Amino acid sequence: MYKGVFTALITPFNRDGSVDAEALKDFVEFQIAGGVSGLVPVGTTGESPTVSHDENVTVVQIVVEQAKKRVPVIAGTGSNSTAEAIAMTVRAKEIGADATLQVTPYYNKPSQEGIYRHFTAIADAAGLPMIIYNIAGRTAKNIENDTMLRLAAHPKIVAVKEASGDLAQVMDLRRRKPADFDILSGDDNLGLPIIALGGTGIISVASNIIPAKMEKLVRLCLEGKMEEARELHYELLPFFKTLFIETNPIPVKYAASLLGKCAPIYRLPMCEMDETKKAAMKKALQDLKLL
């Protein structure tokens, strides 16, 4: 079962634009010390659209080697090309990743049958446990529950990172899903309600900055301590909102830079925020007593 907080890791870059391996290793240690349940390198938060396939595999390898099996590593190796996703996922398995995160194919907008065949082909070929990432806001295609339930029957397809934003869809899936298929929130804002509805955790952006607080929030929810969980949720809610004042991962990477975890460097078309939004992020961190 995939239960707890799994950090959707940022990818630190050097001033020359290359991957900053040392900052990434230090960041893995920061996350593990904060009590997270797992690490998810090279998802959207890791700037997967602008790293090369070789860099994608390299980042996964750095995280796997630094984690040393203390927590599972769920490798972001998705693509809108099924063949590319298979190739990167096979490599991730070879270097020791524990599972893979696979996003809905984007831009080419496959049918529900195409979505089913895409994920099934990867699961069949790569042999890693798979978490499916459903985020229509970035991919233009929602995975309908009937399709998700077909996929959940595959022995290697074990969970969904649910970021449709539709709690009715989440409830219907929870009611109908098999017992061995997990629902993880893909949105920090909705972590508490999704866990309350039967989800098992969060693949989190916020935990890049506040891993211990996110671990506590999810643990309280899972333990049914909802009054305490709600209090912490509302304490953190302004920070959750500030993380999305600009396209992810621009705000979270800037926040990490303010804490000295990485340089505020992006790859185009991602670029820095304006000064007003930077000030808002500084205030959010000050309110959490992190600055």
- Catalytic residues, which ones? 133, 161
Instruction: Give the Cα-Cα-Cα angle 240, 245, 251 (nearest 5 degrees).
Output: 75
Nearest to 65 by CA among 4, 13, 57: 57
The answer for residues whose C-beta is within 8 angstroms of residue 82's C-beta and 6 or more apart is 105, 117, 118, 121, 122
Q: In the numeric block, which tokens belong to residue 150?
A: 């077909």
DSSP 57-108: HHHHHHHHHHHTTSS-BEEE---SSHHHHHHHHHHHHHTT-SEEEEEPP-SS
